Amino acid sequence: MSKAGRFICILAIIASVVVLAGHLISRTGRDVSRLSEDINIDGFAEGIGNAISDIGSRLDDGPGESEYNELRMQYTFPEELYPYLYMLNEEEQRAYFFIYDGVYKAERTIKLGKFTDVYKDNVMKVVTAVYNDHPELFWFDSGATYVYEEQSGLVVEVKPQYNDLADSLLSTKSAFNANAESIISYARLLQGSGPLKQEVYVHDCLCEICEYDLSASNHQSAYSCLVDGHSVCSGYARAFQYIMQRLGIPTYFVTGVTSKGGAHAWNIVMIDGSAYYVDVTWDDEVGRQTGESVHAFFNVTETDVSKTHSRQGMSTFLPQCTRGDLAYSVAVGDTITIDQIKWSP
């Protein structure tokens, strides 16, 4: 099947959400392997800092208030869509805008300084917030270095790490946007039926077009899922986040660990002010291993996933998922539930 054809997903969802047949329940209890992968907690490795004692004019070369005000007018990041920004204090938020702007332009060196007033102890918190809020920056990789004044610790430069997609942004952005729009344009037709039907469609499209593959290139990016069709948890979660953001449905990137200790990424989706967990990766991989369509980790609660998922880092400050009224098995139709999955040792 062609890539374009796969994006259609052959889902008859405009009239009604797909309801899974009862044969899925009769096939539960089949062994599946636990999913575990090596991503960096909060999406980033610890930043490497380079201290400079003779920093000279570099302290004065950083941006000022006028540049900051221009960026605030240029970029609008509402709290309901970009929660990590609002976990930062005022000085960190200033740095967030400059770092976002620099990464958006694929700049190799982003100047900070006295006005941003960010230090070596918290600069990676800001970098992580930008990464977690913005899956559209698919060329932004999992690390950064920074230069700071040795005596004070004030950061004057951040050097983001980019993957090889940054070397041909014109063509990679074109491919990314085209493939994302293939899903977004159809999902918008479902807007009148409510966000739940849109969410089901996006979830099922990603499961259709992408395969879990630890060897995939650039697998920490939404690009790996939407364009390459091979990714790991971070790629699935960031692709889901991006498309749902574009649909105006607040969706957050969550990082933590699994019960086996492996680093993992999934999502929180906000519907009518309530938070729900969604793990597209595990639904897809469990489905592939059992040969069934799976929505076990669709709109579930903290209690539902407490045995397998634990948040860490900044993700612990995201909303708690306490309601199970929009779980697939409750609001849509039959599916394997988490309790019915038999994990291999």
CA atoms of 153 and 155, how far apart (whole Å): 6
CA atoms of 194 and 174, how far apart (whole Å): 29
Mean pLDDT of the chain: 85
pLDDT for 21:
25
pLDDT for 340:
87
* 156, containing H or E segment: strand 155-162
Phi and psi at residue 135, to the nearest 5°: -70, -15
pLDDT for 8:
39
Which residue matches tokens 């070397």? 167
CA atoms of 76 and 172, how far apart (whole Å): 24
CA atoms of 229 and 208, how far apart (whole Å): 9
181-230 confidence digits (pLDDT tens): 999 999 999 999 999 999 999 999 999 999 999 998 899 999 999 999 99
pLDDT for 261:
79
Of 106-115, 140-149, 161-170, the range with the lowest mean pLDDT is 140-149
The partner residues of 162 in beta bridges, in order of sequence, read 140
Share of the chain above pLDDT 70, in %: 82
31-83 confidence digits (pLDDT tens): 555 554 444 434 454 566 666 655 555 666 778 999 999 999 999 999 999 99
pLDDT of residue 155 exceeding 90, the answer is: yes
As given in the structure block, the two tokens for residue 126 are 């800001």
Domains of the chain, earliest start first: 3-32+168-343 (3.10.620), 46-162 (no CATH)
Read off the pTM.
0.87
pLDDT of residue 13 exceeding 90, the answer is: no
CA atoms of 310 and 344, how far apart (whole Å): 20
Please choose, from the candidates 302, 305, 268, 266, the residue with its C-alpha nearest in 3D space to the C-alpha of residue 284. Answer: 266
* 310, containing H or E segment: strand 309-311
Please choose, from the candidates 169, 170, 161, 156, the residue with its C-alpha nearest in 3D space to the C-alpha of residue 127. Answer: 161
CA atoms of 221 and 312, how far apart (whole Å): 20
Let me know: does 336 contact 329? Beta carbons within 8 Å: no
Phi and psi at residue 319, to the nearest 5°: -60, 150
CA atoms of 116 and 88, how far apart (whole Å): 12
234-293 confidence digits (pLDDT tens): 999 999 999 999 999 999 999 999 988 789 999 999 999 999 999 999 999 999 888 888
Average pLDDT rounded to a whole number, residues 92-108: 97
Share of the chain above pLDDT 90, in %: 70
Which residue matches tokens 């990603």? 206
pLDDT for 53:
58
